Amino acid sequence: MPDDVARSTITSRRKAAEDHFNRLRMNYPRIFVSHRHKDVPVVEALVSVIEAAFQIQTHDLRCTSVHPYPLRAGERTSDRLRLELHRAEGVLGIVTPDTKDSTYVLFELWAAWGRGGVTFPLLAFGASTGDVPAPIGDLRTLDLSDEAECHQLIEDLSDVTTLNRRGGMDPRLHSRFRNWPPFQRRRVTASRVHFACALTRCPIPVRRTDPFPSVLMRF
């Protein structure tokens, strides 16, 4: 009997601690996407991939250009973003050839570096490692035009965040896959369909001869 009481007490305390932690986490995103608003097409495709790979709630992701992940109305932008950058489990920085011209992106990447957490510089629109601004210029980059590195991004996010991976085939993605001509009558794995589905939201057409284009190859 005493053992049962002890186990019950431990269980209830553990549940209370988990509930407290979850309430704290719900106030801040686990993934923060830093980008210029002019780069919305590539950001939407990236968010679509993340949604396909993980079980995402609205509070899990901060991406100010993509619904439903912008800041709430009335938020003091700089203060809120600074807090979210500090608490995020992973920061994704979209780096393009003109990223250094954006004061806000530089502010976000500086804040990401200062927090000492995990930051992923993601190259797009033909950017190279030379376009990655200081002080994150020495971090390992991933090129979003490379299929293998897109897959690596998802695997790395699985390692550094507490997000849950999706299992099996998402029916929404399967529907998109069936209606997307380049992939009709082609046998692909579920993970590849997850990446392919984001192309349906990209405004730039994909060559029908591409065997398996990267989700962001046009960027």
Domains, the chain, with CATH or none: 28-167 (3.40.50.10140)
Long-range contacts of 163-167 (CB under 8 A, 24+ apart): 163/30, 163/31, 163/54, 163/55, 163/56, 163/60, 164/54, 164/55, 165/53, 165/54, 165/55, 166/52, 166/53, 166/54, 166/55, 166/194
DSSP string, 126-191: T--GGGSPTTSTTSPPEETT-HHHHHHHHHHHHHHS-PPBP-S--HHHHHHHHT-GGGTT----HH
> What are 214's two structure tokens?
């990267």
| Residues contacting residue 201 through CB under 8 Å, at least 6 positions apart | 44, 45, 48
Alpha-carbon span 37 to 103, nearest angstrom:
12
This model's pTM is above 0.75: no
The arithmetic mean of pLDDT across residues 68-89, rounded, is 91
* Residue 27 pLDDT greater than 60, yes or no: yes
Alpha-carbon span 54 to 65, nearest angstrom:
20
Contact (Cβ atoms closer than 8 angstroms) between residue 124 and residue 219:
yes
Position 19 scores a pLDDT of 55
Percent of the chain with pLDDT over 90: 42
Percent of the chain with pLDDT over 70: 68
| Residues contacting residue 87 through CB under 8 Å, at least 6 positions apart | 28
Alpha-carbon span 94 to 151, nearest angstrom:
16
Q: Which residue has the higher pLDDT, 199 or 83?
A: 83
